[in-house]
């Protein structure tokens, strides 16, 4: 069945997040959608690639740009399971992403208002429409479960 709603696309981002968690990465997933079609997918790969910039959003934005043959994602929506950080919101601004839809709030590094708000910084010629909380409970629980298991493994290892 073709995804049609924000929740449908967020479920696909959640699938990417689960794959990241299975790979030992912080379980964050993202998809970029243009004209109802997924043109970019990403999941955290910082540990696997030893790259601090390998966030799910960055991977998805790069894939979307390659799919469209341009860095301008003006008519695109980014769906991500966790509120983007400043780096990822900066990439969204530079790529001219139209909308960012995210699941769980990020109280330590969120850049859609939780810590800083980079949706429409002063002086920029672009603003991003952001919607929070889409499947936020599921996204948050996935993260909590991952970190709970990580703490348990560390305790067991002594």
Q: Give the residue numbers annotated as catalytic, written as ranges.
A: 57
Please check whether residue 16 is in contact with residue 41, taking contact to mean a CB–CB distance below 8 angstroms: yes
Q: What torsion do the CA atoms of 53, 138, 127, 58 make, to the nearest 10 degrees?
A: 20
| DSSP letter, residue 96 | T
Please check whether residue 120 is in contact with residue 53, taking contact to mean a CB–CB distance below 8 angstroms: no
- Coil/strand/helix, residue 57: helix
Distance between CA atoms of residues 31 and 38, nearest Å: 7
Give first-to-last CA distance, the chain, whole Å. Answer: 47
């Amino acid at each position: 069945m073709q995804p049609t709603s924000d929740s449908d696309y967020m479920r696909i981002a959640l699938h990417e997040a689960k794959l990241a968690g299975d790979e030992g990465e912080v379980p964050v997933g993202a998809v970029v959608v243009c004209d109802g079609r997924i043109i970019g997918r990403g999941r955290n790969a910082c540990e696997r690639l030893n790259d601090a910039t390998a966030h799910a959003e960055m991977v998805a934005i790069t894939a979307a740009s390659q799919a469209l043959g341009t860095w301008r994602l003006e008519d695109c929506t980014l769906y991500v399971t966790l509120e983007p950080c400043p780096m990822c919101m900066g990439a969204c601004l530079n790529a001219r992403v139209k909308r960012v839809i995210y699941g769980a709030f990020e109280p330590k590094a969120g850049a859609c208002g939780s810590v800083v708000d980079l949706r429409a910084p002063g002086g920029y010629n672009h603003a991003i429409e952001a919607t929070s909380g889409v499947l936020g409970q599921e996204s948050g629980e996935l993260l909590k479960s991952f970190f709970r298991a990580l703490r348990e493994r560390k305790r067991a290892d002594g």
